[in-house]
Amino acid sequence: MTAPDAARDLFIALTSHAPTGVWSAPGRVNLIGEHTDYNDGFVLPFAIQHRTYAAASLRDDDRIRVASTFAADPVQVSVADLDTLFPGAGAPTVPEWSAYVLGVAWALRALTPDAPGRGFDLAIASDVPVGAGLSSSAAIEGATASALNDLWALDLDPVTLARAGRRAENEAVGAPTGIMDQMASMLGQPDAATFLDCRTLDAVSIPTGFAPAGLEVLVMDTKVSHSHSTGGYRERREACERGAALMGVPALRDLGVGDLPRAAELMDDVTFRRVRHVVTEDQRVLDTVRMLREQGPRAIGDLLIASHASMRDDFEISVPELDLAVDTALATGAVGARMTGGGFGGAAIALVDRDRVAAVSDAVRHAFADAGFGAPHLFTVTPSEGPRRDA
């Protein structure tokens, strides 16, 4: 069954009637610019064809019922509960999948306190792989925000909806993430990546040119699961904040590669390497945008490779499975490859000639089997559109 049908069927099982509509939002792949978003820096993600669907209707009372194919039981609260459900950053008080939905409802209510928020029923189904670093959570947030924006007649713009999604993630779920994933999902366009300045939230659509160049983006999901509400992500963020404070700047965005020698003198080795990753990664995003514009996607391979090395050696967020996927793809002729997303598991991407996708995929499968790793999930993605109403 397709995900939109699953969302609709689940909605009918929950309510015994058809939904008013079905809304969807995509997951994302980050082409380059990792852990730069919460440093006010640059990112270049694109929305993918995998989407999360929310079938929804308003109710006549103030109850909220949310159901998901991820979970056996629906969650019920009242609209009034939203005001007290998420007191601020910390452990969620509802099951995690529902905190993404209820957190968005809460953030939208906080943004529009005078709007007459009403109860709703909402059922979620998704074909975005969960735990793969492809922003299944931002897709839930985007689908929910789009549904409520229409049902509650809020008329909010995509950037405001993205901010509400991020607020849900930070304060309802308790994951200290940046704004990249929500913006990537909200601003997705076919055949283009979103070049985002995470300080100003200025976004420019950059044609990727993958298809005309005969290239595919192969996702290599290691199936090593990760979570950004726990340890490593938060620690990396704190190291970046420490580095910025030692350099006397508001955020690492304010440093350039020319500042690195001074940074090396001022901080311990670990903090310095975290800073060096972010500063050089910001530069790689700018270089990638320039290369895409001037020479096309074949020219960005070395930047992707350098990005992976920086995450592996300086930021230390890769895992052996990600390194093996990247190394194997490159050894089998990929133009470039790197892990994508927050790290500590999840997926890597490889930019591969269309007629080499099968060979690279076979090589990665064999390398994983030889290393005794679990089988990876391999599939190609294309830059795709942002949220939409499907029915």
CA–CA distance, 51 with 45 (Å, rounded to integer)? 15
Interface residue with ligand GAF, options 38, 106, 210, 272 (CB under 6 A): 38
First to last CA, the chain: 17
- Map the footprint of ligand GAF across residues 136-175, applying CB under 6 A: none
Interface residue with ligand GAF, options 117, 142, 158, 178 (CB under 6 A): 178
Tell me, by CB under 6 A, how many residues bind ligand GAF.
12
Nearer Cβ to ligand GAF (26/342): 342
Helix residue ranges, H only, 187-300:
231-247, 260-266, 269-294
- Map the footprint of ligand GAF across residues 204-233, applying CB under 6 A: 228
Residues contacting residue 351 through CB under 8 Å, at least 6 positions apart? 210, 215, 216, 217, 218, 297, 300, 301, 304, 334, 335, 336, 337
53 labelled ligand-binding = no
CA–CA distance, 32 with 385 (Å, rounded to integer)? 19
169 labelled ligand-binding = yes
In whole angstroms, the minimum distance from the beta carbon of 64 to ligand GAF comes to: 25
CA–CA distance, 103 with 161 (Å, rounded to integer)? 12
Nearer Cβ to ligand GAF (6/184): 184
Residues facing 207 on adjacent strands:
192
Residues facing 123 on adjacent strands:
55, 67
Tokens of 136: 């299944």
Sheet of strand 377-381: strand arrangement: 336-339, 347-353, 215-221, 377-381
In whole angstroms, the minimum distance from the beta carbon of 355 to ligand GAF comes to: 31
Interface residue with ligand GAF, options 126, 177, 307, 318 (CB under 6 A): 177
260 labelled ligand-binding = no
36 labelled ligand-binding = yes
233 labelled ligand-binding = yes
Amino acid 221 reads D
CA–CA distance, 89 with 248 (Å, rounded to integer)? 27
Catalytic residues: 181
In whole angstroms, the minimum distance from the beta carbon of 138 to ligand GAF comes to: 7
Window of 19-27, 141-149, 178-186, 308-316 that interacts with ligand GAF by CB under 6 A: 178-186
Nearer Cβ to ligand GAF (165/387): 165
Task: Determine if 35 is a binding residue for ligand GAF (CB under 6 A).
Answer: yes
Tokens of 45: 């993600």
Nearer Cβ to ligand GAF (142/178): 178
Nearer Cβ to ligand GAF (119/343): 343
Residue whose token pair is 């938060």: 234
Contact 367/328 with Cβ under 8 angstroms? yes
Task: Determine if 312 is a binding residue for ligand GAF (CB under 6 A).
Answer: no
CA–CA distance, 234 with 177 (Å, rounded to integer)? 8
82 labelled ligand-binding = no
CA–CA distance, 198 with 196 (Å, rounded to integer)? 6
Task: Determine if 342 is a binding residue for ligand GAF (CB under 6 A).
Answer: yes
In whole angstroms, the minimum distance from the beta carbon of 341 to ligand GAF comes to: 5
Numbered residues of the known binding site: 34-37, 68, 131-137, 169, 233
Known binding-site positions for Mg(2+): 137, 169
Residues that bind ligand GAF in the complex, under the rule CB under 6 A: 30, 34-35, 37-38, 177-178, 180-181, 228, 341-342
Residues at the binding site for substrate are 34-37, 233
